[in-house]
C-alpha cells in the first residue's frame, strides 16, 4: 500500500498520514476516504481548481500533468511549480511515498466537502 502524508498551509490543522492508500486512486479520493478536508466543487472531474494541492514529494509516483489540468492549475490561488489538482493525481505505484500540502482553503468560494 502507498503512503500519503497530508500537511496543511494552515498550521492549526494537524498532519494526517494515510498508510493504506491504493494504487489507481487519486489524492482527492484518498483525502475523502480518510476525512481530510479538500474542496472539490466540480466533483473531481478536472473542471475547476478547488482541489489544488502542492506535491512536496513523490511526484514520480503520480500520473503526469495534462494540458487541461495545467490550465486549471493556472487559475488556482497561489500556484507553484509543484501545484497539481488532487483529482488528477492518480497513484501509479503501490509502494509510493507521497507528501501533499493542502493550501489554505478558507478563500475558496463554493461547497465545503
pLDDT in tens, 54-63: 999 999 999 9
Q: What's the pLDDT at 5?
A: 98
Go through the chain and tell me how many residues it has. Answer: 113
> Is the per-residue pLDDT at 47 higher than 60?
yes
Grid cell locating 55: 506535491
For residue 6, pLDDT over 90 is answered with yes
| C-alpha span between 97 and 41 (Å, rounded) | 27
Taking the CB of residue 26, how many other CB atoms lie within 10 A of it?
21
Q: CB count, 10 Å around CB of 74?
A: 10
Residue 113: per-residue pLDDT: 46
Query: What local confidence, expressed as pLDDT, does residue 107 receive?
Result: 75
Sign, CA torsion 16/34/31/96: positive
Q: Parallel, antiparallel, or unpaired: how do β-strands 97-102 and 2-8 relate? A: parallel
Its pTM surpasses 0.85: yes
Whether pLDDT at 111 is above 90 = no
Hey, where are the domains in the chain?
A: 10-93
pLDDT, residue 109, reads 64
Beta pairing, strands 52-57 & 97-102: antiparallel
pLDDT of residue 110: 56
Q: What class, spelled out in words, does domain 10-93 have in CATH?
A: alpha beta
Amino acid at each position: 500500500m502507498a503512503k500519503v502524508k497530508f500537511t496543511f498551509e494552515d498550521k492549526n490543522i494537524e498532519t494526517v498520514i494515510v498508510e493504506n492508500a491504493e494504487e489507481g486512486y487519486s489524492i482527492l479520493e484518498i483525502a475523502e476516504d480518510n476525512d481530510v478536508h479538500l474542496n472539490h466543487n466540480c466533483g473531481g472531474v478536472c473542471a475547476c481548481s478547488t482541489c489544488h494541492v502542492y506535491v512536496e514529494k513523490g511526484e514520480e509516483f503520480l500520473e503526469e500533468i495534462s494540458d487541461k489540468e495545467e490550465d486549471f492549475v493556472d487559475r488556482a490561488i497561489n500556484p507553484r511549480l509543484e501545484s497539481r489538482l488532487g483529482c488528477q493525481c492518480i497513484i501509479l505505484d503501490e509502494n509510493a511515498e507521497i507528501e501533499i500540502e493542502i493550501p489554505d482553503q478558507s478563500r475558496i468560494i463554493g461547497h465545503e466537502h
